[in-house]
Chains A and B, each alone.
Chain A
Amino acid sequence: MTLSRGRALAASALLASLLGCTDASKPAPRETAPERAQETLGREPLLVLPELPVLDARVVALGAKLFHEPRLSSDGKVACSSCHDLANGGADGKRSSVGVRGRVGAINALSVYNSSLNFVLFWDGRAATLEEQVDGPLTNPLEMDAKWPDVVGKLKSDAAYQSAFAAAFTDGVTQDNVRTAIATFERTLLTPNSPFDRWLGGDATALTAAQKAGYELFKGVGCVACHQGRNVGGNMFQRFGVMGDYFGDRGHVTEADNGRFNVTHLESDRFVFRVPSLRNVARTAPYFHDGSAPTLPDAVQVMAKYQLGRKLSDDQIAAIVAFLGSLSGVVPASVQSDAG
């Protein structure tokens, strides 16, 4: 088959059905292509955050407790929440996170908020699910440095945990149940009702004029090519340095800079990262996997140069930053005490 056949297929499909898409639907009931086209044509490339899923409250409560539990780490001082501070945008505000015994990690902590909407987890996308993701920081020697038998042992020796696990699961304290509980809690960490979501929902006053202008620029200069969908990112990989040699200019390439390459070992994946979500981005400085951009304007400027191949004026940057500020949503009631 040749490329032209692919095009012919594409053209016939397009002409026949005015292709468009909704959410990847479950197999049944299947929508027809025209139905999908009607739903998606003319839609904004950014979508409203989905509803909170219905989850088992006992598992969620247990997950929340484990998320804040420093005893999971080898020195008993580092919890998930140490680096994913729910009061601080779900991240820690540091270039690189600090793990057990003051060990400095190799990469900037991503926000845990809305992480369930990412198509893969971590900067290099090495975990397919939140459950799978739990193992990463827990066993990383630079982060929590724990071993599963120790974790399970500690939890089993605690009567309160034993009782909470017994209430949430039929088989009590197990590795899988620890993963499930933490992941289930993380699925509740959605931040709906941001000004931008309200504007998308029809509230024309939810955005300021500057934010609206910023949104138009966001789309117009090409940010939206990667940062799109309901999580404003998080649904694709992209090379850092499409229109310029970011790492050459920055210097001192680290292993973490290799990104997706560390997982696939394909040269084409070197410096490729999962595109981060921009929801709550105003609360999660510093930016990028290396934490090299201390402020949002800095980050926008770097992105314009190395990803878009453009020069943006200060006004344009300010407008885009204003728009990005409208992506800050409301943290769930269950963690508002953390978020203060």
Chain B
Amino acid sequence: MSALRQFALILGFIVLSLVISGVLYSRSRSADFDRHARALEAIGNVRHLNELLSERVLAARFGLLNEYDPITQTELHLATGVTELHGRLANVVSTSGALEQALRELDASAERQRAGVEQFKRENSVLKNSLYYLPTAARELAAKSDALGAPLNQLVEAALVYNLVGDQTAQTAYSDVLASITAQKLDVSAADRSEFGMLLAHARVIAGRQPIVDRAVKQVVDSDVSLQISAAERIYYQRFGEIVASSNWYRKVLSAWSLVLLLSVGGAGFQLRRLYSGLEQRVALRTAELSKALAALWGEMKLARKIQEALVPPLPQILNCDVAASMKATEEVGGDYYDVIHTPDAEWILIGDVSGHGVPAGLIMMMCQTAVRTVLQSDPTIMPDRLLTRVNSVLTTNIRQLGEDKYMTISALRRERDGSVFFAGAHQDIFIYRAETQLVEVLETHGIWLGLKEHIGHSLSSERFQLAPGDVLLLLTDGITEAVGNGKMFDTSGVRRVLDRAHGMTAQQILGALFTDLADFDLRDDATVLVIRQLGPDGKSTAPNALTEALSPSAQ
């Protein structure tokens, strides 16, 4: 299995593990004990308020509470508490089904209890009023009539006993006394009849209302609110217990899963470490291979550079000329070549460029130089076109033997002692600064590249120009004109701009000016420049006007 696949599998496993852990964790937290505590608080609150309500109703019934605000407020709090209980339970467990039914019954019980409380307040007020009034009215009437004293005292006494004891015997006794007084034809004066009638009305109120009040008290005290709370609580506990059990199960699974996860993470870590160490080894191996290849490459580059350095003359000299030369090789080492060769009656200047880079280019350069020197040694009077024809013959054969697909551009210039120069071979343009006119001439080179075909004599011809004292001949390779800066090439125009300023400058100064202008340009290939300033016979640059004589129609 590939390392990438293994890594993807491990990553997938981690993501899946996290998802499973998240699900297990959320399930294990489904029992919310904070909310459970609040639900229990709500249950306790309703239970407490229910008891408090009963307590307060009883207190009001027996005269220990002389106003109803506490009862009313407890009623309201209880109603609010029951409503709140619904929400608190629903926050913890599902309140559907049996619990919903239990809560509905609790609501109904609370409602019935509240109706009982309202009836109690209403009827108890009436009863109390009559209970307060009866003794007063009886006392006032008894004061007016002796005959009324005994029966009314009996009535009051029975009423008070009934109110205090309230059992069936007391109720019967009171009813009997009231019936007896009503049936008797008591001696009541006409003036007191109204008051007597009022007393009997209150006595009847007591007889009628006390059972109602007691029933209302019973309705409140015996309310099944407490039972309904217990029923709801029981179902709630059962449901919460189920949640806790489920939560505990998930906790156990989560614990086991955590253990598995821990082991898996350890295993994955080990596996990753193995993968990592394998990768490390492979990286080390590849690095070593690359280093080796790089070393070999660098070795080749060094060789190519050495060939190039060995071929080009370090300080070329030409009779009666001020010469400066420069060859800037790129890291890869291109195929630039130049040479200056002295024969008994002339100086040869060669400049060229082998296609490609490195050692093969260097070898071809070497062959070229050897061929040139051999031909010149055997025939010092040869003209440039013939020289290149013979060199090409040798080169083409050797390049084929070498199995390289190479060719070479080259211009060969033969400078006579009188300053006339013959040249042939296709390479870069030849630049000549004319000291007299301070103008720059550019001569195109014609011919065919060497190494492409064996016989090229018909394609070559020698041309001629003359250098006068002060004139500057500038030869170069395409590394100069094809240098790029700010998106533009240096081009022949860049060379012209340098030569335009060449008046009074030495060859080295011109060379310096050229590379100053090239400072902002990027040299992408080997760049070779040869600057030859013709001196006068006395070694000075001033000289009579020079003429350029073309031996062919293309000469300028």
Chain A interface residues (CB < 8 Å from chain B) = 1, 3-7, 9-10, 13-14, 17-24, 26-27, 30, 33, 37, 40-41, 43-47, 119, 220-222, 224-226, 228-230, 235-239, 242-243, 268, 272, 307-311
Task: Given the known inter-chain contacts A6-B214, A27-B81, please indicate yes or no for A308 contacting B133, CB distance below 8 A.
Answer: yes
Interface centre among A22, A30, A235 (most CB of B within 10 A): A235
Residues of B within 8 A of A3 (CB): 166, 214-215, 218
Give residues 158-189 of B contacting A (CB, 8 Å). Answer: 166-167
Q: Is the CB of A235 within 8 A of B68?
A: yes
Q: How far is the CB of A63 from chain B (nearest CB, A)?
A: 22
Q: Is the CB of A33 within 8 A of B218?
A: no
- Our pick among A10, A30, A43, A46 for the contact of B58 (Cβ within 8 Å) is A10
Show 5 A/B contacts (Cβ-Cβ < 8 Å), sorted by A: A21-B70, A23-B69, A24-B73, A37-B64, A235-B72
Task: Given the known inter-chain contacts A13-B58, A37-B64, A310-B198, please indicate yes or no for A24 contacting B133, CB distance below 8 A.
Answer: no
Q: Is the CB of A226 within 8 A of B217?
A: no
Give residues 397-412 of B contacting A (CB, 8 Å). Answer: none
Give residues 63-107 of B contacting A (CB, 8 Å). Answer: 64-77, 81
Task: Flag whether B524 is at the interface (Cβ < 8 A).
Answer: no
Task: Flag whether B293 is at the interface (Cβ < 8 A).
Answer: no
Bound Cα distance from A42 to B327, whole angstroms: 124
- Our pick among A17, A24, A40 for the contact of B76 (Cβ within 8 Å) is A24
Bound Cα distance from A307 to B41, whole angstroms: 43
Closest 3 CB pairs of A and B: A24-B73, A21-B70, A222-B129
Bound Cα distance from A272 to B126, whole angstroms: 13
Task: Given the known inter-chain contacts A242-B126, A272-B122, please indicate yes or no for A24 contacting B74, CB distance below 8 A.
Answer: yes
- Our pick among A6, A30, A46 for the contact of B67 (Cβ within 8 Å) is A46
Q: How far is the CB of B168 from chain A (nearest CB, A)?
A: 8
Q: How far is the CB of B50 from chain A (nearest CB, A)?
A: 12
Q: How far is the CB of A190 from chain B (nearest CB, A)?
A: 15
Q: Is the CB of A226 within 8 A of B125?
A: yes
Q: How far is the CB of A287 from chain B (nearest CB, A)?
A: 19
Interface centre among A1, A46, A225 (most CB of B within 10 A): A225
Per-position binary interface string of chain B over residues 118-158, scored 1 when its CB falls under 8 Å from any chain A CB and 0 otherwise: 11011001101110110000000000000000000000000
Bound Cα distance from A19 to B56, whole angstroms: 7
Residues of B within 8 A of A237 (CB): 118, 121-122
Task: Given the known inter-chain contacts A24-B74, A236-B72, please indicate yes or no for A220 contacting B132, CB distance below 8 A.
Answer: yes
- Our pick among B48, B132, B221 for the contact of A6 (Cβ within 8 Å) is B221
Closest to B132 in A: A222
Q: How far is the CB of B184 from chain A (nearest CB, A)?
A: 22
Task: Given the known inter-chain contacts A7-B166, A40-B65, A236-B72, please indicate yes or no for A24 contacting B217, CB distance below 8 A.
Answer: no
Task: Flag whether B264 is at the interface (Cβ < 8 A).
Answer: no
Bound Cα distance from A19 to B61, whole angstroms: 11
Give residues 202-256 of B contacting A (CB, 8 Å). Answer: 202, 205, 214-215, 217-218, 221-222
Known: A21-B59, A238-B125, A272-B122. 5 other contacts (CB 8 A): A7-B167, A19-B65, A20-B59, A24-B71, A27-B45
Task: Flag whether B329 is at the interface (Cβ < 8 A).
Answer: no
Closest to A244 in B: B201
Closest to A18 in B: B64
Task: Given the known inter-chain contacts A20-B65, A37-B64, please indicate yes or no for A309 contacting B198, CB distance below 8 A.
Answer: yes
Bound Cα distance from A230 to B67, whole angstroms: 9
Task: Given the known inter-chain contacts A10-B217, A222-B132, please indicate yes or no for A229 contacting B67, CB distance below 8 A.
Answer: yes
Task: Flag whether B424 is at the interface (Cβ < 8 A).
Answer: no
Residues of B within 8 A of A9 (CB): 54, 58, 221
Task: Flag whether B33 is at the interface (Cβ < 8 A).
Answer: no
Residues of A within 8 A of B125 (CB): 225-226, 236, 238
Count of inter-chain pairs, beta carbons less than 8 A? 150
Task: Flag whether B365 is at the interface (Cβ < 8 A).
Answer: no
Residues of A within 8 A of B349 (CB): none
Task: Given the known inter-chain contacts A21-B56, A30-B48, A239-B122, please indicate yes or no for A47 contacting B64, CB distance below 8 A.
Answer: no
Closest to A24 in B: B73
Q: Is the CB of A243 within 8 A of B214?
A: no
Residues of A within 8 A of B52 (CB): 24
Task: Flag whether B276 is at the interface (Cβ < 8 A).
Answer: no
Closest to B78 in A: A24
Task: Flag whether B62 is at the interface (Cβ < 8 A).
Answer: yes
Q: Is the CB of A21 within 8 A of B65?
A: yes
Task: Given the known inter-chain contacts A3-B218, A6-B214, A309-B198, please indicate yes or no for A27 contacting B121, CB distance below 8 A.
Answer: no
Q: Is the CB of A1 within 8 A of B130?
A: no
Interface centre among B56, B66, B81, B201 (most CB of A within 10 A): B66
Task: Flag whether B55 is at the interface (Cβ < 8 A).
Answer: yes
Closest to B73 in A: A24
Residues of A within 8 A of B129 (CB): 222, 225, 242, 307-309
Bound Cα distance from A12 to B194, whole angstroms: 42
Bound Cα distance from A17 to B125, whole angstroms: 24
Residues of B within 8 A of A10 (CB): 58, 61-62, 217, 221
Residues of B within 8 A of A44 (CB): 66
Q: Is the CB of A1 within 8 A of B133?
A: no
Closest to A40 in B: B65
Bound Cα distance from A236 to B122, whole angstroms: 7
Residues of B within 8 A of A222 (CB): 128-129, 132-133
Q: How far is the CB of B111 from chain A (nearest CB, A)?
A: 11
Residues of B within 8 A of A235 (CB): 67-69, 71-72, 121
Give residues 345-384 of B contacting A (CB, 8 Å). Answer: none
Bound Cα distance from A221 to B214, whole angstroms: 23
Residues of A within 8 A of B67 (CB): 45-47, 228-229, 235
Residues of B within 8 A of A6 (CB): 214, 217-218, 221-222
Bound Cα distance from A10 to B166, whole angstroms: 12
Bound Cα distance from A236 to B222, whole angstroms: 21
Q: Is the CB of A228 within 8 A of B66?
A: yes
Q: How far is the CB of A32 from chain B (nearest CB, A)?
A: 11
Residues of A within 8 A of B167 (CB): 4, 7
Residues of A within 8 A of B73 (CB): 23-24
Residues of B within 8 A of A37 (CB): 64
Bound Cα distance from A24 to B128, whole angstroms: 23
Q: Is the CB of A228 within 8 A of B68?
A: yes
Residues of B within 8 A of A14 (CB): 58-59, 62, 64
Task: Given the known inter-chain contacts A3-B214, A6-B214, A310-B133, please indicate yes or no for A24 contacting B64, CB distance below 8 A.
Answer: no
Residues of A within 8 A of B118 (CB): 236-237
Task: Flag whether B49 is at the interface (Cβ < 8 A).
Answer: yes
Bound Cα distance from A14 to B121, whole angstroms: 19
Residues of A within 8 A of B54 (CB): 9
Bound Cα distance from A235 to B69, whole angstroms: 6
Q: Is the CB of A41 within 8 A of B130?
A: no
Q: How far is the CB of A80 from chain B (nearest CB, A)?
A: 24
Q: How far is the CB of A309 from chain B (nearest CB, A)?
A: 6
Residues of B within 8 A of A27 (CB): 41, 44-45, 48-49, 77, 81
Bound Cα distance from A22 to B71, whole angstroms: 9
Bound Cα distance from A109 to B291, whole angstroms: 105
Q: Is the CB of B198 within 8 A of A229?
A: no
Residues of A within 8 A of B133 (CB): 221-222, 308-310
- Our pick among B41, B62, B74, B121 for the contact of A236 (Cβ within 8 Å) is B121
Bound Cα distance from A119 to B74, whole angstroms: 11
- Our pick among A1, A17, A40 for the contact of B218 (Cβ within 8 Å) is A1
Residues of A within 8 A of B55 (CB): 13, 17, 19, 21, 33
Residues of A within 8 A of B58 (CB): 9-10, 13-14, 19
Bound Cα distance from A40 to B67, whole angstroms: 10
Task: Given the known inter-chain contacts A18-B64, A19-B58, A228-B67, please indicate yes or no for A24 contacting B77, CB distance below 8 A.
Answer: yes
Bound Cα distance from A294 to B216, whole angstroms: 36
